[in-house]
Structure formats: structure tokens, C-alpha cells
């Protein structure tokens, strides 16, 4: 589960930056970069290996002492590079030796090696020839922070969502009879979909090898008895738990092995590789191993770090922002609501820190529930709580909520239960790319009967919506916000339905959430450059539709909706439905939205501009709808 942009400093000890790259012809790029760096002296190790252009065969040729030196240098390389670029550093420092050992025992890409979850794959990238691309790591058009098929044939699965690796391995083994290898851990073995696939592998006795990276953590400590990691009371008891679990499913068991000691680790993986049928090798690792700063971080082991790459200059915003980030606003409101109402419970799927739930956990431990990386179970838990009169709040990133859609429909909405979903990272999330952008949730959720969707823009609006949701006796509520700072509240800006930000007569701009700033900025440009009088509506309640806003919009010559969602979802379909049912003159309309496809990684603001969701794009559409010539210097290319 890997993710988004700057984490509020109030919540976790260190934040990170959203600046991943694009997997475009990266094999050639890495080769060129490696040769260029080699010509300058490269990043050659003290025993002759160039970290910019390694090949798995080079690694297999080392003796064990060479492996130990290689692991030390890769760890130093990762610390140097990832503290610059930002990324999942703590998660990768724990699997350096494990990854080297896997590549020595198996012949990638002939042998499929699947990393679940994919944020553990940095050493894998170095061992497969991509070390030379780390100076573009997580940059647009550079190297991805996750496995990416466009980068290398060594990457089989583009996975930033967790627990899916065993099912891929099941399919590969059934299709061609080969032995796929799944490196699973860092919380991924808490996910129910992983257990479903393990059961099928065991029943069919397929030759799948599971390398269980047991560090006792995901972001925080793992919610599981199948671990020798930090929550475990006894190593002996924990080891029996894991062995009995896997053998009951039909797997052979090897381990536990010390994941930072080649003398213990390599023989264990070799024994597992020689076994017939399904087998698991249980490898105990320490997240953040080898870096004292990570080892001292009790909250996340520096799972993610911010980097020192300069961010783009902040844009001047027309509306003032408040002093706190969304996470801190949420923390304050939830604690206040729980103090007032003993029915309030909070649920997380292994992300208490990034969602700023640590204070709630401290103050209300009996009403705080971390289920691990199990979004479906989290929604089911919320339904069970609500059925008994509780008022559960499930806080989750937008991209991960979609994993629980079946439960949202059939366990919550069908039963008309008052469950509240707080959805963070709505819209373009930046950093992690295609599987982590929150641009599909509204399109899916708007079809759920009886479910209300809100997009507040200020802390006061968030508080008002949450209080209303907690006070409901039936029906679910979704409250979503993007990766931006809340607006400063004002007396006219706290409605939970809509806010009139600007009144005009020619053009109407409809926006919600982070796009309200864009709408107001575009209205300023249209007035300044064309003398166009523009209305700006901030739509807070997305479902059910606020028809009064659409009725007002219909009185203008042109209407533009502005949303950082996939095209075809959000406000625009509701606007068209309203206009189709009306009479009289229909205004010209346009939707400024993201393409209905998968977006790459990169800095959020740059991605929005690149894919046509910006002040300039709104102005261009408005000019076209109103039949205006672009003013000098304001054409599409200039914007």
C-alpha cells in the first residue's frame, strides 16, 4: 500500500514527496545511464561490481563474502539515493540480503519473481540493471518506485496494492507449470485475498514458492499472530503458528531464517527451492535494518522518507488556506466526537499514522480498530458495529476504498447502515502512479443507492459533515478530500451542500474540493482577459446532486465542470441529466477532467497540468464555449 504526497508532520516523524517517474523505454535509458556513469568512474564497488549496471548472473557468481559486501554497498547506495529522491526506504533496507539470496537461487526473468507488495523491490531494481536510473527515481519520465513492466522483463506485476501476489503465482503456475516465487510481507500477508490464493495453491499442490518476509510490520506493527515480528509474545509460539498455518494449507515449511545473515538465509532458500509442490520459506527481517535513524523510529521505521529534491515553486492561490493539514483536522474532530458520543468507533486498514489516527488510538483504544491491510474486512466490521447501534468511521485512502466496493454495496448500503467513510488522497495522488491515484472512487460510489458523498474544502465543513453523518440513523456517508491544504473557513463558506464563491452572468464554473481554487483562478483570468462575468459554485455535496446549483448554472451562456476525477464521473453526468430534463435554451457545456485511463507517477501539480486539469485548461474551454479568441500569450501552448 504505498502512496501519496506530503504526509502531515503532525502525524508521523517524516514526510515524503510525490515525484515518481514514468516507465518509458527505461531499459535503454538504464543502459545509457550505466555506460555514462561507468565512463565517469560509475558506482563501482570495492570488489569490482558496478551498481549501475548489475545483472543477476553477476550476483550468482559471487561467493558468500562477496554477497555480504554487495549487501552493505547496496544499503549505502539506497540510503544515499532515496534520502535524496524520497521513497520507501525503511521497507527496502530490510530486504537487501533477502533479495540478493532470491536472485542467487532463481534465474530471473525465466523464473517469475513477484514482489508483494511492490514497494520492497528497490534492491531487485539494482540487481536487474537499473541502478544507473536512480538519479531519476520517482521523477516524471524517470524510474518508477514500483515494479513496472515497461522498465524491465524482470518485473512481472505492477503492484502497489498488497496481498495479490499469491493469486498471480497461482495463475502462472497453472498456465505453464513453472515455479513462480512470491516475496510477500511488509503487511501483505494480513490481506484476505492472499489467504484465498494460498488455499488454492495448497489444494492443487502447485509448485509455488512463498518467501515470507516477516518483519512484524506494514506501516505500523502488523495485526497478526502469524509473525515473529514486534507484536509476537514468544518466538517459539510464533514460529509454530506460522508453520502450522502453512502446513495445514498443504505447504512445506522451511525456517525461520535470519533474513540478514547469508549463512542462515541462503541454505533455507536453497532447501525451499529444491522442495516439491508448494513451499514457504519463513524469513525474519528488521524493517529499516542497517540505518540507525530508521531503527529508532518506533512508528514507521522510516517506511517512507521525504527526500531533498526541490519541490516546484508553490502556485499563488486565490483563496486563503487554513493553518492545519487535513489529517490534523480529522484527528481533532474525531477525538472531539468520540468524547461527546460513546458510539463513535474508528477503523483503519493498517494506516494509523498516515491518516493521523494516533491520537484517537491513544485516547480511545477500546474504540480504535486496526484490521491490517484488509479493506473488505474493515467495511464488514463497520457494518457489524453499525448494526448494533455504533457509529463507525472508516478512514482510508481513496484508492484502497475501492477494494471494499462489494461490502459497501451489500453489507452497508443494502442494510441502510450509518457507516461513515473518510476518504483521503482523493484525486491525483502523485507519487505512486496508476494504482494509487484516487480518481475512480466517485465514479463507483455514485452508483450506490442511499450513499451520500461530500467533498468539503475547510475544516469547519469537514466537522459539519462528520457531525451530520454521525447523527444519522440510516444510510452511509462518504467524506473525501485530496492532497492539498484546507481552505480557511469563513461565515459564508461552511455550507454542507454548496457555496457561492463568485457571482456572474456569462459563465458558470462548477467545482469541488481542491478544484475550487482552480475555478476561482480561472474566473479571475476570464474577467481580466475577456471581461467575462463568471459565477463559481463550490459543490460540497456530490450525491445526491444539489439540483439548485444546476438550475442556476443553466441560466448562464456556458458551464464548465472542473474535477480531478476520471472523465465521465462526478458532476458532469449529473449536470447533463439536469439539463436534459429542463426546458428552454441549454447552455454550452464542457468537462475539465482527467482522461478515463491510468495515469503515471509524478508531482501532483505537474500531472494535473499535463493531463488537462488546470486554470489554463478551464480558460481554454471557456473561451471555446463562448466563441472568444484567446488573448495574446494565453493560447493552449502557452498555458
* Nearest residue to 467 via CA among 321, 320, 339: 339
Query: At 596, is the pLDDT very low, low, confident or very high (cuts 50, 70, 90)?
Result: confident
Q: What is the pLDDT of residues 324-366, one digit of tens each?
A: 899 999 999 999 999 999 999 999 998 888 899 999 999 999 9
Q: How far apart are CA 459 and CA 480, in angstroms?
A: 12
- Residue 483 is predicted with a pLDDT of 79
How far apart CA 579 and CA 586 sit, in angstroms, is 7
Evaluate whether 147 touches 23 at the Cβ level (below 8 Å).
no
- Are residue 600 and residue 518 in the same domain, yes or no? yes
Cβ count within 10 A of residue 497: 13
- Write down the pLDDT at residue 432: 66
The three three-digit cell numbers of residue 345, written as one number: 468507533
Mean pLDDT of 389-397: 97
Q: Report the pLDDT value the prediction gives residue 83, as an integer from 0 to 100.
A: 79
CA separation, residue 53 to residues 126, 130, 138, 365, 634 (Å): 8, 6, 19, 49, 45
Instruction: Output phi, psi for 134, to 5 deg.
Output: -70, -15
Does some domain include residue 6? no
With 70 as the cut, is the pLDDT of residue 34 above it? no
What sections of 482-599 are H helices per DSSP?
Answer: 515-530, 547-553, 571-581
The CA distance from 17 to 307, in Å, is: 7
CA separation for the pair 406, 73 (Å, rounded): 46
Average pLDDT, the chain: 84
Q: Is residue 487 part of a domain?
A: no
Residue 452 or 83, more confident = 452
Say which range, 11-15, 429-433, 500-504, has the weakest mean pLDDT: 11-15
Domain count, the chain: 3
pLDDT at 156: 87
pLDDT range class, residue 451, cuts 50, 70, 90? very high
pTM: predicted TM-score of the whole model, two decimal places: 0.85
Is residue 45 situated within a structural domain?
Answer: yes
- CATH code, domain with 374: 3.40.50.970
Q: What pLDDT score does 297 carry?
A: 62
pLDDT higher at 138 or 568: 568
Single residue among 445, 480, 515 that ends a domain in this structure:
480
Q: Is residue 320 part of a domain?
A: no
Does a structural domain hold residue 590? yes
Residue 587: which CATH number?
A: 3.40.50.920
Percent share of the chain, pLDDT over 90: 54
67 and 192: one domain?
yes
* Residues 534 and 444 reside in one and the same domain: no
Domain membership of residue 492 (yes or no) is no
Who has greater pLDDT, 139 or 13? 139
Q: Which of 171, 166, 51, 181 is nearest to 103 (CA)?
A: 181
Q: Give the percent of the chain with pLDDT over 70.
A: 84
Its domain, for residue 603, covers 499-626
pLDDT (mean) for 159-175:
88
Contacts of 414 (CB under 8 A, 6+ apart): none
Domain termination site, one of 446, 480, 514: 480
Q: Is the pLDDT of residue 45 over 90?
A: no
Are residue 518 and residue 406 in the same domain, yes or no? no
Phi/psi of residue 103, nearest 5 degrees: -70, -20
Q: Out of 120-129, 270-279, 295-304, 362-371, pick the least confident.
A: 295-304
Q: What is the average per-residue pLDDT within 100-126?
A: 91
**pLDDT class of 302 with cuts at 50, 70, 90:** low
Reported confidence tier of residue 632, pLDDT bands at 50, 70, 90: low
Whether residue 317 is contained in a domain is answered as: no
**452 and 528, same domain (yes or no):** no
Query: At a CB cut-off of 8 Å and minimum separation 6, what does 595 contact?
Result: 566, 567, 611, 612
Task: Tell whether 470 and 508 lie within a shared domain.
Answer: no
Task: Give me the mean pLDDT over the 434-454 stretch.
Answer: 89
Question: Residue 619 has which C-alpha cell?
Answer: 480558460
Under 8 Å between Cβ of 270 and 242: no
Q: Do both 255 and 110 map to the same domain?
A: yes
Residue 150 vs residue 13, higher pLDDT: 150
pLDDT tens track for 199-217: 999 999 999 999 999 887 7
Write down which residue in 278, 296, 314 finishes a domain.
Answer: 296
Quick count: other Cβ atoms within 10 Å of Cβ 549?
25
> With bands split at pLDDT 50, 70 and 90, how would you rate the model's confidence at 576?
very high
| Mean pLDDT of the region 556-573 | 93
153 lies in the same domain as 266: yes
How high is the pLDDT of residue 286? Answer: 86
pLDDT at 553 over 50: yes
What confidence score (pLDDT) does residue 36 get? Answer: 37
Contacts for 35 with CB less than 8 Å, ≥ 6 apart: 53
Confidence at 601, pLDDT banded by 50, 70, 90: confident
Highest mean pLDDT among 21-35, 205-219, 291-305: 205-219
pLDDT at 25: 37
507 and 450 in a single domain? The answer is: no
The 3-state secondary structure of 347-360 reads EECCCCCCCCCHHH
Q: Please give the residue that has the higher pLDDT: either 603 or 468.
A: 468
CB proximity list for 388: less than 8 A, separation 6 or greater: none
- Are 336 and 421 in a shared domain? yes
413 pLDDT exceeds 70?
Answer: yes
Report the alpha-carbon distance of residue 277 to residue 478 in Å, rounded. Answer: 45
Residue 35 lies in a domain: yes
> Is the pLDDT reported for residue 460 higher than 80?
yes
Closest to 162 (Cα-Cα) out of 100, 112, 222: 222
Same domain, 336 and 265: no
Whether the bond between 501 and the residue before it is cis, its omega within 30 degrees of 0, is no
pLDDT of residue 314: 63
Same domain, 194 and 256: yes
Q: Is the pLDDT of residue 295 over 80?
A: no
Amino acid at each position: 500500500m504505498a502512496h501519496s504526497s506530503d504526509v502531515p508532520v503532525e502525524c508521523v516523524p517524516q514526510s515524503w514527496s510525490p515525484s515518481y517517474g514514468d516507465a518509458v523505454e527505461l531499459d535503454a535509458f538504464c543502459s545509457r545511464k550505466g555506460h555514462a556513469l561507468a565512463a565517469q568512474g560509475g558506482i563501482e564497488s570495492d570488489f569490482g561490481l558496478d551498481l549501475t549496471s548489475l545483472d543477476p548472473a553477476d550476483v550468482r557468481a559471487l561467493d558468500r563474502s562477496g554477497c555480504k559486501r554487495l549487501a552493505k554497498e547496496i544499503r549505502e547506495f539506497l540510503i544515499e539515493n532515496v534520502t535524496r529522491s524520497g521513497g520507501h526506504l525503511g521497507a527496502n533496507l530490510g530486504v537487501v540480503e533477502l533479495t540478493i539470496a532470491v536472485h542467487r537461487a532463481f534465474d530471473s526473468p525465466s523464473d517469475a519473481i513477484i514482489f508483494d507488495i511492490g514497494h520492497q523491490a528497490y534492491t531487485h531494481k539494482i540487481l536487474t540493471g537499473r541502478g544507473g536510473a536512480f538519479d531519476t527515481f520517482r521523477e516524471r519520465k524517470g524510474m518508477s518506485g514500483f515494479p513496472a513492466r515497461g522498465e524491465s522483463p524482470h518485473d512481472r506485476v505492477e503492484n502497489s496494492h498488497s496481498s495479490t501476489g499469491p493469486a498471480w503465482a497461482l495463475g502462472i503456475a497453472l498456465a505453464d507449470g513453472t515455479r513462480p516465487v512470491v516475496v510477500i510481507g511488509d503487511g501483505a500477508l494480513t490481506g484476505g485475498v492472499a489467504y484465498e490464493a494460498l488455499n488454492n495453491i495448497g489444494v492443487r499442490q502447485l509448485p509455488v514458492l512463498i518467501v515470507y518476509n516477516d518483519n512484524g510490520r506494514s506501516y505500523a506493527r502488523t495485526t497478526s499472530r502469524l509473525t515473529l515480528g514486534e507484536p509476537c509474545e514468544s518466538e517459539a509460539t510464533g514460529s509454530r503458528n506460522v508453520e502450522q498455518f502453512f502446513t495445514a494449507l498443504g505447504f512445506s515449511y522451511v525456517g525461520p531464517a535470519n533474513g540478514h545473515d547469508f549463512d542462515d538465509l541462503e541454505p533455507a532458500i536453497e532447501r525451499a527451492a529444491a522442495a516439491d509442490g508448494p513451499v514457504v520459506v519463513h524469513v525474519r527481517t528488521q524493517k529499516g535494518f542497517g540505518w540507525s535513524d530508521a531503527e529508532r523510529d518506533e512508528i514507521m521505521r522510516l517506511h517512507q522518507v521525504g527526500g531533498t529534491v526541490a519541490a516546484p515553486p508553490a502556485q499563488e492561490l486565490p483563496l486563503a488556506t487554513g493553518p492545519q493539514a487535513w489529517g490534523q483536522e480529522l484527528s481533532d474532530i474525531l477525538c472531539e466526537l468520540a468524547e461527546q458520543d460513546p458510539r463513535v468507533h474508528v477503523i483503519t486498514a493498517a494506516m494509523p499514522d498516515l491518516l493521523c489516527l494516533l491520537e484517537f488510538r491513544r485516547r480511545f483504544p477500546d474504540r480504535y480498530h486496526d484490521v491490517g491491510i484488509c479493506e473488505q474486512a474493515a467495511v464488514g466490521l463497520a457494518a457489524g458495529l453499525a448494526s448494533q447501534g455504533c457509529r463507525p468511521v472508516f478512514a482510508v485512502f481513496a484508492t484502497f476504498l475501492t477494494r471494499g466496493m462489494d461490502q459497501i454495496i451489500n453489507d452497508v448500503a443494502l442494510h441502510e447502515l450509518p457507516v461513515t467513510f473518510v476518504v483521503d488522497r482523493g484525486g491525483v495522488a502523485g507519487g505512486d502512479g496508476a494504482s494509487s491515484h484516487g480518481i475512480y472512487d466517485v465514479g463507483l460510489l455514485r452508483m450506490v443507492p442511499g450513499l451520500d458523498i461530500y467533498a468539503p474544502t475547510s475544516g469547519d465543513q469537514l466537522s459539519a459533515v462528520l457531525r451530520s453523518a454521525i447523527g444519522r440513523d440510516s444510510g452511509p456517508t462518504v467524506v473525501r478530500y485530496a492532497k492539498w491544504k484546507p481552505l480557511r473557513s469563513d461565515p459564508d463558506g461552511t455550507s454542507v451542500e454548496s457555496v457561492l464563491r463568485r457571482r456572474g452572468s456569462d459563465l458558470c464554473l462548477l467545482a469541488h474540493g481542491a478544484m475550487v481554487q482552480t475555478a476561482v483562478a480561472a474566473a479571475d483570468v476570464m474577467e481580466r482577459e475577456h471581461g467575462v462575468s463568471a459565477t463559481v459554485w463550490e459543490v460540497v455535496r456530490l450525491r445526491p446532486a444539489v439540483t439548485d446549483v444546476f438550475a442556476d448554472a443553466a441560466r448562464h451562456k456556458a458551464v464548465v465542470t472542473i474535477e480531478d476525477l476520471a472523465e465521465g464521473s462526478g458532476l458532469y453526468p449529473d449536470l447533463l441529466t439536469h439539463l436534459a430534463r429542463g426546458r428552454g435554451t441549454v447552455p454550452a457545456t464542457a468537462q475539465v477532467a482527467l482522461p478515463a485511463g491510468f495515469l503515471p507517477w509524478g508531482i501532483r501539480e505537474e500531472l494535473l497540468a499535463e493531463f488537462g486539469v488546470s486554470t489554463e485548461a478551464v480558460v481554454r474551454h471557456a473561451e471555446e464555449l463562448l466563441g472568444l479568441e484567446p488573448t495574446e500569450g494565453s493560447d493552449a501552448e502557452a498555458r
